[in-house]
Amino acid sequence: MINVGNVVKGYKTAEARWARFGPYYAMFPLDFAFEVVQKYSKEGDYIIDPFAGRGSSIFAGGVLGRHSLGIEINPIGWLYGTVKIAPAEKDKVIQRLIYIYNKKELYKKDASNLPVFYRMCYGKNVLKFLLSVRNNLDWKHDHKDATLMSIILVYLHGKIGESLSNQMQMTKAMGMNYSMNWWKSKNLSQPPDFDPLDFLLERIEWRYKKGYPQIEESRIVLGDSTQELSKIAERACDNDIKFRLLFTSPPYYSLTDYHKDQWLRLWLIGGPEIPETNKEKYRGRFNDKEDYCKLLDTTFGSCVPMMDKKSTIYVRTDKRNWTFNITMEILRKHFPKHKLSIVDRNITKRTQTEIFGNSSSEKGEIDIILTK
């Protein structure tokens, strides 16, 4: 029997050590994820999250004995989520780390040719190592490589001494020019240079110290929910599987810009050196009202045939009038026979809408709950 208190507070268990894995701004509070899963499902049930983020809902479901399935379009969130529900064996991850580290001198010339930002952000040894990581880890297809990549991503930028970088924020990567000007103003033009191998070995040992999380069979798919859900629905039908809980928080309209905020981590996994050259395929969906409606309509509509007759649909969105109303309208369209409840969350912390530019009076978050 899992003690949920040990998971949501402290680092006493393997589950607790992996639960918060991966700095990510758009995520459920961990205690909230466990609360919803416990209240609206039971052991052995199937739950689904089509906008999984870093997988807090899937992790909570798996820890609590639910078969949990998520879909996430952002590869950074997917890496964090898919690794924490099933991290690769520690010894194999360390073997890959040493192999990648030993190839770093092959990238000495490449490191010197990178834009100035990178040489101000990372010391010489760290930068050569990161280029070896970027070029040699097959994170999409090899789980031990995905595990190592995700661990490196956690520490890619943050406070000096606690990350691989010069002084930066941990959750969000600031722009190149902003960062360089800030470093100069703080006399931090020379980044710290140290051995990334020793740094990462110490953190890998800490992460695995309590072992591996005990998770019911769960997974997160890397992809677009509007495309992946039809495949999932077909497989669920073939296997006579019905989902008892749909638990999610869609991207907030006009606020979500994954590539801008995660550009440096996206660079490490193969993105462009200059973030402004990145043409985000999915960005328009979050800025254009018509496309945003289509995103929600297609996603929730695709979930309908998979849901159990006594299912719960639990959706967290933000309070801004248009976002709330369109989310409500689409949910009522697809689940007309479910009983509606609204929970207005009095959140004291700054919410996602405030952090990412919401200056309206409609601040905060709200939960739409449909039960049957």
Contact 302, 336 (CB under 8 A): no
Q: Write the secondary structure of 75-122 as one string of H (helix), E (strand) and C (coil).
A: HHHHHHHHHHCCCCCHHHHHHHHHHHHHCHHHHHHHHHCCCHHHHHHC
Q: 């248009």: which residue's tokens?
A: 322
Read off the pLDDT of each residue in 158-164 and give the average, rounded to a whole number.
Answer: 97
Contact 118, 112 (CB under 8 A): no
**Which has more pLDDT, 352 or 245?**
245
β-partners of residue 49 are 70
- Which structure tokens are listed for 161? 């001494």
The conformational region for residue 44 under phi > 0 = left, psi -120 to 50 = alpha, else beta, is: left
> Percent of the chain at pLDDT above 90?
79
Contact 232, 224 (CB under 8 A): no
> What confidence score (pLDDT) does residue 341 get?
97
Report whether pLDDT(360) > 80: no
Return the half-sphere exposure (C-beta side, CA atoms, 13 A cut-off) of residue 129. 25
Q: Which of 25, 39, 8 is closest to 343 using CA atoms?
A: 39
> What confidence score (pLDDT) does residue 5 get?
72
**Which has more pLDDT, 64 or 30?**
64
CATH of segment(s) 4-86+212-371: 3.40.50.150
**Which has more pLDDT, 62 or 285?**
62
Contact 351, 366 (CB under 8 A): no
Report whether pLDDT(86) > 50: yes
Which residues, 6+ apart, have CB-to-CB distance to 101 below 8 Å? 129, 132, 196, 197
> What confidence score (pLDDT) does residue 286 get?
65
SS3 339: strand
Tens of pLDDT along 180-192?
999 999 999 999 9
Return the half-sphere exposure (C-beta side, CA atoms, 13 A cut-off) of residue 350. 8
SS3 312: strand
Which range, of 15-29, 30-44, 143-157, 287-301, averages the lowest pLDDT?
Answer: 15-29
Read off the pLDDT of each residue in 224-228 and give the average, rounded to a whole number.
Answer: 95
- Which structure tokens are listed for 99? 């192999």
Tens of pLDDT along 103-130?
999 999 999 999 999 999 999 999 999 9
Confidence of residue 100 (pLDDT cuts 50, 70, 90): very high
How far apart are alpha carbons 246 and 234 in whole angstroms?
Answer: 17
DSSP state of 173: P
Q: Write the secondary structure of 291-309 as one string of H (helix), E (strand) and C (coil).
A: HHHHHHHHHHHHHHHHEEE
SS3 266: helix
Contact 171, 355 (CB under 8 A): no
Report whether pLDDT(295) > 70: yes
Q: 């092959």: which residue's tokens?
A: 106
Read off the pLDDT of each residue in 230-257 and give the average, rounded to a whole number.
Answer: 90
The residue ranges of every structural domain in the chain are 4-86+212-371, 90-208
Counting DSSP H helices and E strands in the chain, the numbers are: 18, 7
How far apart are alpha carbons 19 and 5 in whole angstroms?
Answer: 12
Read off the pLDDT of each residue in 78-82 and give the average, rounded to a whole number.
Answer: 96
